[in-house]
Structure 1
Amino acid sequence: MTQSVVVQVGQCGNQVGCRFWDLALREHAAVNKKGMYDEALSSFFRNVDTRSGDNGPDIYKGKICTLKARALLIDMEEGVVNEILQGPLRDVFDSKQLITDVSGSGNNWAVGHKIYGCQYRENIVEKLRKTAEHCDCLQCFFIIHSMGGGTGSGLGTFVLNLLEEEFPEVYRFVTSVYPSGEDDVITSPYNSVLAMKELNEHADCVLPIENESLFQIVNKIHQMINSGKLGSTVKQNSLVTSNAGSAKTLQVKPFDAMNNIVANLLLNLTSSARFEGSLNMDLNEISMNLVPFPRLHYLVSSLTPLYTLADVNVPSRRLKPSLHFVSWNQEGWKTGLCSVPPVGHSHSLLALANNTCVKPTFIELKDRFMKLYKKKAHLHHYLQIDGMEQSCFSEAIYSLSDLIEEYNELDATKGGPRIDPSRLKIAL
């Protein structure tokens, strides 16, 4: 059984990570009724005998000891991490796998990447190595971060670079939350484009998530519940968007609801590697089958259902015949079947696609960047950081423009009119 390590960077990364670990524990508890440590749990959890202060590999299989998440929590503002450590998941995290500061990155990619990256480099490398030593067969690092802030974008991509240097043979899957056009961080276009260059060069797979799309999905489900369109009953604990399936949570904690969608996406992505099924699919098969060119590694995700009716019917329509494949890869298709559905659901489907519908998101990001950059707005905040030059911006926008052009060329090979979906969405 292979293991994966989750690296949570910044406020958004740690909030999504918190929901991921909570849902992962619920999922394993529903399957593993005896509460014994098994191979499925070993994918994301260590089993530590606290009586002996064990810090070595998982040598206590079969014993009921203390579960510790295979995780590294990083944030240059300690608020979110402290909140996690004071919550119900506090015992899941090893205090030795936390890196925090108090001042934050000031929504500045350069501060996170250049200043904090250099300052915490050795500490991060040491903790990454320690985490890797606890794995029998480390297959993948999952990085969760946002693109718009300073720590998530700057330090998050710095960690990505470190992973490539220190663990070149281990896959790097990145879940990146992209800011909306109405984002209250005015410098988010700078941060996002600077981060994009690093993702282009150092990630194996990127799962881009639009913050605006998450918000729209949560609002849509909330409206459908209130209007009664979901039927007279919604199956208890079946809402992917809430902690316990309560519709009230959508109003009280909308960010938790949004984060839960992303957490469920990651759980679905790894379920075939953690649980038995009639057609298992490993993480390396995702990269092998869905990334034909190294830079074109942005995978669009669609997850269903986000809620379950009591009288749900399993869909049987075939998806593959309705899709258009490029001429040189007509058989680019991989299926994984897992016997364990998410908690509260009778079934679940995650579709990952490498297609050109990510292009509008990148074009919009480029346009927002250029509006600021043409006026040199807020540029001095970045250029005053050691190691940060104006060429960093020109190189970043060139990298993004080059990526957009590659998608344009693929569009042109379809032989028909160029049709781009209006938004990148996680489909209902």
Structure 2
Amino acid sequence: MTQSVVVQVGQCGNQVGCRFWDLALREHAHVNKKGLYDEALSSFFRNVDSSKCDGEAHFVGGRIQHLKARAVLVDMEEGVVNEILQGPLREMFDSTQLLTDVSGSGNNWAVGHMTYGSAYREQIVDKLRKAAEHCDCLQCFFLIHSMGGGTGSGLGTKVLSLLEEEFPEVCRIVTSIYPSAEDDVVTSPYNSILAMRELTEHADCVLPVENQSLVDIVKKIKHMSHSGKPGTVIRRESAIISGQGGLIGAEKPFDAMNNIVANLLLNITSSARFEGSLNMDLNEIAMNLVPFPGLHYLVPSLTPLYTLADVSVPSRRLDQMFSDAFSKEHQLIRADPKHSLYLACALMTEAFAAICVLEPGRLEDGPVLGASCGPLPLPVSPGQQHLCENHLHGAERTLHQALQEEGSLTPLPACRRDGAEPLLGGPQLSQLPD
């Protein structure tokens, strides 16, 4: 199997990444009962001998000795990284994977991108190269960062450009956390706009996640658990509750939101972490869902939501989950699919991965159950979580409008129905080759 490297930048990126590693370990432990270092584990973990100074790696097929995450952790503040190093996951990382400073970026994109990006360029490249050298067949880089903070938006996009420069043939998938309208950081809308330009230029695929959508989903799940019906209490070890998620100290209000993003990454990487006849490589996501290089912002959604809380409620039928996947209530960014154009979509679970390409057209009659599409996925066991990745034409505009509401930014020009108006400075569709 192929391997992938996770790059966590900034406070938010490292918190989400830490939760991802915690959930991934729990998932593998549930499947891997014999304690063997198999190909599924090798996709995101290394097996090393910690008793030797050089950390000699063990090959697939042997016993699990000491797992190390295929990750690079970057933050210009030490707080979150120190929490990780003092928590239950501290043995998964070593000094060659960490890069921190003490002063932070002051919520300033330019400080993160220009100042720290120039000062730490060689160190960042060195750590990325070392992480890549540990891979037999490097398939993908996963970058996790926030758009509102200085380090996440500024240094995060600088790392993205370095990845393109050093590893131009390796797919770059970015998970970007966008600020909500109630964000108390006055510079977050501007940081987000500056970072979006870099994402458009250097990313192969972007999974935008909006904080307000995460808040709405958490409220919905909590309301579901307080309905008073038997079996609707959120279990302690469920995915929505962090269990500290590899960190120490009391649970924070945003931990449940981080867990949802971590579940997004867990589901999207399941086909790369486990073998299956219908599984696909991660680079096929960008290959099948991105029609033009600049139009690579996908709209993720999760269904059913109750599996995040492990709530015992009547299971949804497959057609109901299919409808939910195309509803705005299950999306991680508030982009109403009824007022956009579908270019392509993918439905994925931990049991299968299927590509469903839809003909571009307006959605006047609700979900796209009657749209022209490819083969539909086969039924799966009840209660299994589905991930839907949609490419909605106009998603970039939705992001910009949300940021415009927050920071009184200059509005984009009116978008023509034929799509000829450039989005975020990108090329006009009419000028693109057939």
Global fold match (TM > 0.5):
yes
SS of equivalent residue, structure 2 residue 261: helix
Distance 1:122 1:406 in 2: 30
The CA deviation at 1:325 is: 12
CA deviations over 1:292-329 (Å, ceiling 9, x no partner): 011110110011223244353242217499899999x9
Letter in 2 for 1:42: S
Q: Which residue of 2 aligns with 1:403?
A: 423
CA deviations over 1:167-197 (Å, ceiling 9, x no partner): 0000100000000111111011111111010
Distance 1:303 1:144 in 2: 18
The CA deviation at 1:108 is: 0.3
What is the CA RMSD across the aligned residues, in angstroms?
Answer: 3.2
Q: Which has the higher contact order (CA 8 A, sep 6+)?
A: 1
Distance 1:339 1:54, change over 3 A: farther
Residues 75-86 of structure 1: matches in 2 within 5 Å? 75-86=75-86
Distance 1:240 1:266, change over 3 A: same
Q: Which residue of 2 aligns with 1:269?
A: 268
The CA deviation at 1:405 is: 8.6
Q: Which residue of 2 aligns with 1:316?
A: 318
Distance 1:340 1:326, change over 3 A: closer
Q: Which residue of 2 aligns with 1:420?
A: none
The CA deviation at 1:13 is: 0.3
TM-score, with length taken from structure 1: 0.79
Distance 1:65 1:340, change over 3 A: farther
Q: Is the 8 A contact 2:10 2:76 kept in 1?
A: yes
CA deviations over 1:309-351 (Å, ceiling 9, x no partner): 4353242217499899999x98x4555564399xxx9411000
Q: Which residue of 2 aligns with 1:292?
A: 291
Distance 1:312 1:136 in 2: 44
The CA deviation at 1:56 is: 5.8
Distance 1:90 1:252, change over 3 A: closer
Distance 1:254 1:325 in 2: 33
CA deviations over 1:39-69 (Å, ceiling 9, x no partner): 0001110000112234465536412210000
Distance 1:267 1:113, change over 3 A: same
The CA deviation at 1:128 is: 0.4
Q: Is the 8 A contact 2:300 2:388 kept in 1?
A: yes
CA deviations over 1:264-290 (Å, ceiling 9, x no partner): 100100101111334112112111110
Q: Is the 8 A contact 1:147 1:178 kept in 2?
A: yes
The CA deviation at 1:243 is: 2.7
Q: Is the 8 A contact 1:9 1:73 kept in 2?
A: yes
SS of equivalent residue, structure 2 residue 14: helix
CA deviations over 1:132-153 (Å, ceiling 9, x no partner): 0000000000000000010000
Deviates more, 1:273-282 or 1:92-101: 273-282
Q: Which residue of 1 aligns with 2:158?
A: 158
Name stretches of at least 5 consecutive residues in structure 2 with no aligned partner.
245-249, 327-336, 354-381, 412-420
Distance 1:409 1:168, change over 3 A: closer
Q: Which residue of 2 aligns with 1:355?
A: 392
Q: Which residue of 2 aligns with 1:93?
A: 93
Distance 1:77 1:46, change over 3 A: same
Letter in 2 for 1:317: D
Distance 1:28 1:232, change over 3 A: closer
Name stretches of at least 5 consecutive residues in structure 1 with no aligned partner.
246-250, 375-400, 411-428
SS of equivalent residue, structure 2 residue 269: helix
Distance 1:335 1:300, change over 3 A: closer
TM-score, with length taken from structure 2: 0.78
Distance 1:364 1:235, change over 3 A: closer
Q: Percent identity?
A: 63
Q: Is the 8 A contact 1:69 1:94 kept in 2?
A: no
Distance 1:28 1:407, change over 3 A: farther
Distance 1:365 1:310 in 2: 38
Aligned: 1:365 with 2:406: no
Residues 82-121 of structure 1: matches in 2 within 5 Å? 82-121=82-121
The CA deviation at 1:35 is: 1.7
CA deviations over 1:230-269 (Å, ceiling 9, x no partner): 6544474674311359xxxxx9532111100000100100
Letter in 2 for 1:355: L
Distance 1:233 1:86, change over 3 A: same
CA deviations over 1:188-227 (Å, ceiling 9, x no partner): 1111111010000000000000011111211222233223
More helix by share: 1
Aligned: 1:147 with 2:147: yes
Residues 34-45 of structure 1: matches in 2 within 5 Å? 34-45=34-45
Distance 2:314 2:153 in 1: 40
Distance 1:277 1:336, change over 3 A: farther
Q: Which residue of 2 aligns with 1:394?
A: none
Distance 1:38 1:60, change over 3 A: closer
SS of equivalent residue, structure 2 residue 288: helix
Letter in 2 for 1:361: L
SS of equivalent residue, structure 1 residue 52: coil
